[in-house]
């Protein structure tokens, strides 16, 4: 990114929810750790070039120890013989005796204070992902606390940048339509303007593409309702307008913001115990009976508590090779007792090899248990968090909380049931054709603790009119039966021609504890797109005309 063209600020987002758990375990072993060590290795190769070119670096790689990473950056600069001014932001870590880690999601004004003081590198702990972009924009344009539309616009830009190449064609439903098939998508750039509007683009000559659809896909990633809550502003996702602005350029405009809530989100991680898993290969006939035999034998060997069985019917009838004829029985065990979850469990599975179903085999050797964590979300009043910017000279500057806040909207305040009449208006009860849902829609899905989000967008206005009425919560339960027993919230985003579902509890106790085959729900959208449904015959397939021109 530094070598590829002009940049003012380079941001790096290192902190997934699971990462905080990993850093917490690191710090248990060594109090001087707790930050992303990979950042230092990357910085060693480019710090001098960044300083020469005036590129400032803002990263949340500080994790649980931003002061420690800031000191490590200064030490690295000393070894390289380059002068560097480092600021850092702290105050997100909360004292929770019952938690491994507890961190409030701070806003962007601490980052801005460090940049205003001349920092070349700004290190933070747990800030919102978007704050890495909002902070530099505040520093550049001098926005105040009440510049809600501007802050909201920069928040959208930050949300689009946070997952890197996901907005330039990575993980994109229609990747086969991109000029290079998304073999090596470039990283995105946001050109943020004084009014908060922005243009998403990438360096010339890099792979992938920036189109309205690739931007739409990332906008829908890991969001809930139209009111996108943040520590500095509530961003109205239903106000976002996307339009082509030339090859590999998409303009983001019209974003509206409202005052933030009086509370900050808090991410809490705890060690939940130990886990282990073994997978039995069941080949040929009597698959269900073979699985039942293993279930009974494993329960008898290690006890029922904490055992979980998942049978994946990957087998095909009359197959000509073993793999195509086989199903997989995944057996998981979670326990607070490491001995039971460890070798006792995996050895019990292996010991069945000569005393179970015909053709018994496993995919792995016996292994020890590994610890797993449980993520939960909490809130804390903004004025109870000591948000502090530590400037390059060492001065500690308290960052005051916002003075203008409003109550957060309830999670179901904007849910919508769909509109069957709208779908009928498109189809007119006319001809339909059987096909995969993904012929007409794209999707992007992800995780938020134990919940999953599933955003679905249509490729045309007619397609959205049909999708909006057709894809109800009830229809989703038919297509994805595992959602039928869960609380599902549905939201409409007409400007994006999209609907978004929040599926509560799909991932159980969260990613680190989930035994689901797709523990982060990253493939949930593609599963939905693969389902065969009755499509309206009159709705065209293929990309919107504007995106065809942009991609070209």
The secondary element (H helix, E strand) that includes residue 214 is helix 212-219
Say which residue the tokens 């069985």 belong to: 309
* pLDDT, position 544: 79
Does residue 551 or residue 389 have the better pLDDT?
Answer: 389
Checking DSSP bridges between strand 121-124 and strand 56-59, what pairing results, if any?
parallel
Query: pLDDT of 243-259, one tens digit each?
Result: 999 999 999 999 999 99
Confidence of residue 361 (pLDDT cuts 50, 70, 90): very high
Averaged pLDDT, 388-414: 90
Contact of 341 with 347, CB cutoff 8 Å: no
Closest CA to 103 of 235, 226, 265: 265
Averaged pLDDT, 170-175: 96
Confidence of residue 284 (pLDDT cuts 50, 70, 90): very high
Residue 548 reports pLDDT greater than 80: no
Confidence of residue 425 (pLDDT cuts 50, 70, 90): low
Does residue 468 or residue 510 have the better pLDDT?
Answer: 468
Calpha distance 468→456 (Å, rounded): 10
Q: Which residues touch 221 (CB under 8 Å, ≥6 apart)?
A: 159, 163, 166, 444, 446, 453, 455
Contact of 241 with 254, CB cutoff 8 Å: yes
* pLDDT, position 397: 98
Reported pTM: 0.92
Confidence of residue 237 (pLDDT cuts 50, 70, 90): very high
- Mean pLDDT of the residues in the chain: 93
Confidence of residue 123 (pLDDT cuts 50, 70, 90): very high
Query: pLDDT of 447-496, one tens digit each?
Result: 988 899 999 999 999 999 999 999 999 999 999 999 999 999 999 999 99
Confidence of residue 410 (pLDDT cuts 50, 70, 90): confident
Alpha helices in 30-147 (DSSP H): 37-44, 47-53, 66-80, 109-116, 131-141
Closest CA to 500 of 508, 510, 509, 490: 490
Averaged pLDDT, 379-383: 96
Q: Would you give the end-to-end CA distance of the chain in angstroms?
A: 23
Query: pLDDT of 76-112, one tens digit each?
Result: 999 999 999 999 999 999 999 889 999 999 999 999 9
Domains, the chain, in order of start with CATH, read 273-374 (3.30.70.380), 420-551 (no CATH)
Averaged pLDDT, 162-177: 96
* pLDDT, position 482: 94
Say which residue the tokens 């009440």 belong to: 146
Residue 61 reports pLDDT greater than 70: yes
């Amino acid at each position: 990114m530094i070598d590829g063209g002009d940049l003012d600020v380079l941001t790096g987002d290192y902190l997934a929810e699971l990462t905080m758990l990993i850093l917490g375990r690191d710090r248990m072993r060594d109090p001087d750790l707790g930050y992303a060590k990979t950042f230092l290795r990357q910085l060693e190769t480019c710090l001098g070039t960044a300083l020469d070119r005036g590129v400032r670096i803002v990263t949340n790689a500080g994790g649980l120890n931003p002061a420690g990473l800031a000191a490590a950056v200064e030490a690295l600069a000393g070894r390289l013989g380059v002068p560097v001014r480092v600021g850092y932001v702290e105050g997100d870590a909360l004292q929770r005796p019952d938690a491994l880690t507890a961190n409030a999601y701070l806003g962007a004004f601490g980052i801005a204070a460090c940049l205003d003081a001349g920092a070349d590198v700004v290190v933070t702990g747990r800030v919102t992902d978007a704050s890495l972009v909002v902070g530099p924009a505040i520093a550049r344009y001098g926005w105040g606390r009440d510049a809600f539309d501007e802050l909201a616009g920069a928040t959208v830009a930050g949300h689009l940048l946070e997952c890197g190449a996901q907005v330039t064609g990575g993980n994109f439903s229609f990747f086969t339509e991109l000029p290079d098939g998304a073999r090596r998508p470039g990283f995105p750039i946001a050109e943020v303007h004084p009014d908060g509007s922005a243009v998403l683009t990438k360096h010339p000559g890099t792979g992938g593409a920036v189109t309205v659809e690739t931007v739409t896909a990332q906008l829908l990633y890991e969001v809930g309702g139209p009111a996108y809550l943040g520590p500095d502003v509530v961003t109205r996702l239903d106000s976002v307008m996307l339009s082509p602005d030339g090859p590999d350029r998409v303009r983001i405009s019209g974003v509206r913001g409202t005052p933030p809530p009086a509370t900050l989100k808090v991410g809490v991680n705890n060690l939940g115990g130990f886990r282990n898993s073994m997978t039995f290969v069941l080949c040929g006939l009597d698959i269900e009976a073979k699985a039942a035999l293993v279930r009974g034998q494993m329960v008898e060997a290690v006890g029922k508590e904490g055992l979980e069985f998942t049978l994946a019917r990957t087998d095909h009838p009359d197959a000509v090779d073993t793999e195509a004829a086989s199903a997989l029985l995944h057996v998981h065990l979670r326990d607070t007792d490491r001995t039971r979850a460890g070798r006792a469990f995996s050895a019990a599975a292996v010991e069945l090899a000569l005393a179970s179903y015909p053709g018994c085999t496993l995919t792995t050797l016996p292994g020890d248990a590994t610890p797993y964590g449980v993520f939960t979300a909490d809130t804390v009043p903004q004025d109870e968090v000591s948000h502090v910017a530590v400037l390059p000279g060492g001065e500690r500057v308290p960052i005051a909380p916002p003075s203008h806040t409003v109550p957060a909207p309830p999670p179901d305040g904007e849910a919508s049931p769909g509109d069957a009449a709208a779908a009928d208006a498109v189809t007119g009860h006319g001809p339909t054709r059987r096909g995969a849902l993904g012929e007409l829609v794209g999707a992007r899905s992800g995780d938020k603790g134990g919940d999953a989000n599933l955003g679905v967008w249509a490729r045309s206005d007619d397609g959205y009119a049909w999708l909006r009425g057709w894809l109800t919560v009830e229809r989703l339960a038919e297509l994805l039966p595992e959602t039928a027993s869960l609380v599902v919230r549905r939201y409409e985003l007409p400007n994006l021609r999209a609907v978004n579902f929040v599926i509560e509890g799909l991932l159980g106790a969260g990613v680190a504890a989930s035994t689901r085959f797709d523990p982060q729900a990253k493939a949930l959208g593609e599963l939905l797109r693969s389902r065969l449904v009755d499509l309206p015959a009159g709705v065209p397939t293929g990309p919107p005309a504007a995106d065809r021109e942009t991609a070209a």
